[in-house]
Amino acid sequence: MNNIKNKFNKIAFGLCLCTFGLSFVACEDFLDRPPYDEFDNEEFWQSEAQARAFMYGVYPSVFAGYGTGVAHGPFLMGETSNDDFTSESQAELGPLTIPTSDGSWSFTNVRKANYIIDNVGRLDADETTVNHWRGIGRFFRAYFYSNLVFLYGDVPYMDHYPVISDNKEDMDFLYKDRDSRIYVDSMIMEDFQYAMDHVRTDDGSLQINKYVVAAMASRLLLREGTFLKYHNIDQAKATECLKFAKKASEIVMGGSYKISDDYKALFTSNDLEGNSEVIMYRKYLDGVLAHSTLAYSYQDPQGGATCSLTESFLTKTGFPIYYNNEYWVAPTATDFYTNRDPRLTLCFRTQYYLRGENPGNFAYSLSGYSWSKFMDDSKAGSGDATFARERNVTDAPCLRLGEVLLNYAEICYELGVLDQSILDKTINVLRDRKGVEMPHLEIVGGEPAINGVVYDDPKRVQINAADPGYDVPALLWEIRRERRVELCFEGFRLNDLKRWNKLDYMMNSVNPDIRYGAYIRLSDYPEGRKNVSLENADATEGYILRNTGTQRVNMPTEKNYIYPVPTDQIILYKNHGYTLTQTKAWREE
């Protein structure tokens, strides 16, 4: 009896334990554990707040500003390969060979933009709101495609989100060949148009709005229009792009933006909020997000600007420095910086900083010229910790009215509609800026003039004579000069040279000034003289010769303007029975 009871006890106990064990796990969903702290695609695009947060991730790719950490944005040293920066040796213009792989041939951002466009419809919001966010997605797509087109010309156009599947249609789309640049340009304009029509006029501070879209369209379609024009790809499309850019610029100019009274403050301010000229800026914050642009203008040695750049700034009279002078020379820094376009001294320090000389607060510059556009020198040596590398927190003006005005003047010139009234609401507005106050640029008989005096820059004549490309008319020369001066070190120069078909300006034979830095008297620099070479080794004064090493030999060809596609992609397409066509200039005939 006892035995049976004992046995029963055992079984009962075992069963109890088993039931207990199973009861807390019997749930079928035990193994289905979606992540707690991440959004699945299905869970996203519910609210406008989610859409807004998603977009922030794209902003820094579009408005990189001064970059972060030690990495540059487009400003200052973000782009040093042009005729503004000196270097000891000149590499041949690239690209030189077809690369096996190429990180720029990337559609990651386009995919992202398409992801937005394809999904905003799921937002639980009214149509206007949905269209606003779709407009931002299309703005991004237009922006990224503009850059791809500018690099590669023809590119495959992605109007929806590609998928990998066994379906032939999907694969045909995934492996589609390049669409023509002209087609993609139309798509870009459609996107920009949609965005200008639907994106809100004001969506709060540091948010993309209609004016941001329009200002970007002004920049990018001027770029594309002039590229098509000067590379003679499609004149009709060029005009269409330029007209679009004109329309976009007019939207911005019709807004409430005003040229700021303080040129310097645009680049040295810790807070650009409320600056009347700024359409979009990137905000920096100590300890959170900082850059090094000040450090590169302060205690870090500088490679130095070319005299090609510094000499392109006009004199205070509004005439170029060589105008009426066969040979203009400023033997000292004081001479050089006196009576010049005030923007020169807003961009440069008024003394030369040679290596080996006691530099005071500032590091040396290898060309002598010490740039200071992005630095408030009055704070040098103050011990302000935010002046150190990776601590700089000045805000970056990514889009400003000044640029749009310059775009507008150039667009109008290229469309053949430039007249004095347009100059007066563009370039002359910039020249009227408080603290700049330069004489107005005038048109007299289609030629540039100052106070009614027609002039022609001897440098223009000299460069046109040496340049195998087209001649730049005197008025266009002045419009381009104004752009170079006003937008100095803002990351436009190389792209400008490319779209103007003027990479020739980076050749010593065409533009010998790119070899040199400041003109100095050796006796003024007892220590620094040891570290510089002059053009003439025996001379006691002259221009600092920076290009003492290799020099560029090969004149630019179309290959230097449009990138090849990497071979790994061509092979991949071929292996899957598809074709990816190589850029024309790079095809082996």
Partner 1 sequence: MDKLKYYLICLVMTSVYAFAGQPEKGISVTGMVSDDNNEPLIGVSVVVAGGTAGTITDVNGHYKIIVPGSNSMLKFNYIGYLAQTKQVGNNSVINIRMEESSRTLDEVVVVGYDTQRKANLTGAVGSVDVTKQLEGRPLPDIGRGLQGSVPGLSVTTTSGRIGSSPSLKIRGAIGSLIDGASSPLILVDGVEISDLSFINPDNVESISVLKDAASSSIYGTRAAFGVVLLTTKKGSEKEHFSISYSNNYSWATPTVLPELAKSYEGAEMALEARQRTSPGTVNFTNTANLVWNEESIERMKEWERVYGGLNLSPEMVYGRDFEVISGVPYFYRSFNAAEKYIKKYSPSQQHNISVSGTTGKTNVYLGLGYMGQGGVVKVKPDKYDRYNVNMNMETKVNNWLTTRGKFLYSRTDLKTPFNFSSSSSYDALYYLYRWPSIMPYGTYEGHPFRNSVTETAAANYNTDQKDYMRVSIGATVSFTKDLSLDMDYTFNTDNEMIIQRGGEVGGWDFWSGPLVLKDNWADVSKNKIDQYFYNRDYQAGNAVLRYKKTIKAHKLNVIAGWNIEQKEAHFLNGEKRELLDLTKPEVSLAIGDQYVYGSHSDWAIMGFFGRINYSYADRYLFELNGRYDGSSKFPVNQQFGFFPSGSLGWIISEEPFMEEIKPIMSFAKIRASYGSIGNQAVGDNRFRSILATSTSGWIIDDVNETSFGTPNAISNNFTWETIESKNIGLDLRFFNDKLGVTADLYQRKNKDMISVGEEVPSFFGASAPYTNVGELTTNGWEIGVDFHHAFDNQLRLGVTLNLSDALSTITKHRNGSNTTIDGTNYQGKIYGEIWGFETDRFFTADDFNEDGSMKEGIPSQAIFETNGWFKYMPGDVKYKDLDGNKVIDWGDNTSKNPGDMKRIGNSTPRYEYNSRINLEWKGLDFELFIQGVGKRDYWGTGNMIIPGWNHYEGVFYAHQTDYWREDNLDAFYPRLTQFGQITQYSRAAALNFFPQTKYLLDMSYCRIKNITLGYSFSQKLLQKIKIDRLRIYTSFENIFEFDHLGDIPIDPETGQSTGDGGTMGFGRIYPYTRSASMGVQLKF
Q: Which is nearer to partner 1, 140 or 374 (CB)?
A: 140
Write out the binding residues for partner 1, residues 238-277 only, by CB under 8 A.
none
Backbone φ, ψ for residue 454 (5° rounding): -70, 140
- The residue type found at 517 is G
Q: Which is nearer to partner 1, 18 or 553 (CB)?
A: 18
Contact with partner 1 (CB under 8 A) among 176, 200, 243, 529: 176
Contact with partner 1 (CB under 8 A) among 287, 416, 445, 452: 287
Q: Which stretch binds partner 1 (CB under 8 A): 26-34, 183-191, 322-330, 421-429?
A: 26-34
Q: How far apart are CA 283 and CA 262, in angstroms?
A: 19
Instruction: Confirm or reject binding of residue 6 to partner 1 (CB under 8 A).
Output: yes
Instruction: Confirm or reject binding of residue 174 to partner 1 (CB under 8 A).
Output: yes
Q: How far apart are CA 315 and CA 335, in angstroms?
A: 12
Token representation of residue 67: 């970059």
Instruction: Confirm or reject binding of residue 60 to partner 1 (CB under 8 A).
Output: yes
- Least distance from C-beta 388 to partner 1, angstroms? 6
Q: Which is nearer to partner 1, 162 or 439 (CB)?
A: 162
Write out the binding residues for partner 1, residues 529-548 only, by CB under 8 A.
530-531
Q: Which stretch binds partner 1 (CB under 8 A): 2-10, 323-331, 431-439, 493-501?
A: 2-10
Instruction: Confirm or reject binding of residue 54 to partner 1 (CB under 8 A).
Output: yes
- The residue type found at 55 is M
- Least distance from C-beta 511 to partner 1, angstroms? 22
How many other CB atoms are found less than 10 A from the CB of residue 382? 10
**Which runs of E-coded beta strand occur in 356-512?**
396-400, 441-444, 447-450, 453-454
Q: For the window 349-388, what string marks contact with partner 1 as x by the rule CB under 8 A?
A: -------xxxxxx-x-------------------x-x--x
Q: How far apart are CA 544 and CA 516, in angstroms?
A: 6
**Which run of H or of E encompasses 544?**
strand 541-545
Instruction: Confirm or reject binding of residue 13 to partner 1 (CB under 8 A).
Output: yes
Query: Under DSSP, is residue 138 helix (H, G, I), strand (E, B) or coil?
Result: helix
Instruction: Confirm or reject binding of residue 164 to partner 1 (CB under 8 A).
Output: yes
Q: How far apart are CA 288 and CA 393, in angstroms?
A: 9
Q: How far apart are CA 217 and CA 195, in angstroms?
A: 10
DSSP code for 298: T
Q: Which is nearer to partner 1, 323 or 573 (CB)?
A: 573
Residues near partner 1 (CB under 8 A), total: 86
Backbone φ, ψ for residue 130 (5° rounding): -60, -45
Q: Which is nearer to partner 1, 148 or 215 (CB)?
A: 148
Q: Which is nearer to partner 1, 124 or 286 (CB)?
A: 286
Contact with partner 1 (CB under 8 A) among 125, 151, 289, 466: 289
- Least distance from C-beta 545 to partner 1, angstroms? 14
- Distance between terminal CA atoms of the chain? 102
Q: How far apart are CA 531 and CA 545, in angstroms?
A: 11
Q: Which stretch binds partner 1 (CB under 8 A): 17-25, 133-141, 213-221, 369-377?
A: 17-25
Write out the binding residues for partner 1, residues 184-223 only, by CB under 8 A.
205-206
Q: Which is nearer to partner 1, 236 or 385 (CB)?
A: 385
- The residue type found at 565 is V
Instruction: Confirm or reject binding of residue 573 to partner 1 (CB under 8 A).
Output: yes
Q: Which is nearer to partner 1, 16 or 417 (CB)?
A: 16
- Least distance from C-beta 390 to partner 1, angstroms? 7
For 254-296, the DSSP string reads TSS----S-TTHHHH-S--TT-TTEEEEE--BTTTB-B-TTGG
Residues 6+ apart with CB under 8 A from 202: 209
Q: Which is nearer to partner 1, 292 or 501 (CB)?
A: 292
Instruction: Confirm or reject binding of residue 586 to partner 1 (CB under 8 A).
Output: no
Instruction: Confirm or reject binding of residue 288 to partner 1 (CB under 8 A).
Output: yes
- Specify whether the CB–CB gap between 310 and 369 falls below 8 A: yes
Token representation of residue 485: 């001066």
Q: How far apart are CA 194 and CA 180, in angstroms?
A: 21
Q: Which is nearer to partner 1, 290 or 475 (CB)?
A: 290
Write out the binding residues for partner 1, residues 440-469 only, by CB under 8 A.
none
- Specify whether the CB–CB gap between 221 and 192 falls below 8 A: yes
**Which run of H or of E encompasses 328?**
none
Across 134-172, b (16+ Cβ under 10 Å) vs e yields bbbbbbbbbbbbbbbbbbbbbbbbbeebbeeeeeeeebe
- Specify whether the CB–CB gap between 357 and 366 falls below 8 A: no
Contact with partner 1 (CB under 8 A) among 94, 121, 331, 549: 549
Contact with partner 1 (CB under 8 A) among 25, 236, 465, 537: 25
Instruction: Confirm or reject binding of residue 285 to partner 1 (CB under 8 A).
Output: yes
Write out the binding residues for partner 1, residues 475-514 only, by CB under 8 A.
none
**Which run of H or of E encompasses 18?**
helix 2-23
Write out the binding residues for partner 1, residues 95-124 only, by CB under 8 A.
105-112, 114-115
Q: For the window 69-98, what string marks contact with partner 1 as x by the rule CB under 8 A?
A: --------------------x---------
Contact with partner 1 (CB under 8 A) among 202, 261, 527, 558: 527
Instruction: Confirm or reject binding of residue 56 to partner 1 (CB under 8 A).
Output: yes
Q: How far apart are CA 294 and CA 300, in angstroms?
A: 9
Q: Which is nearer to partner 1, 286 or 419 (CB)?
A: 286
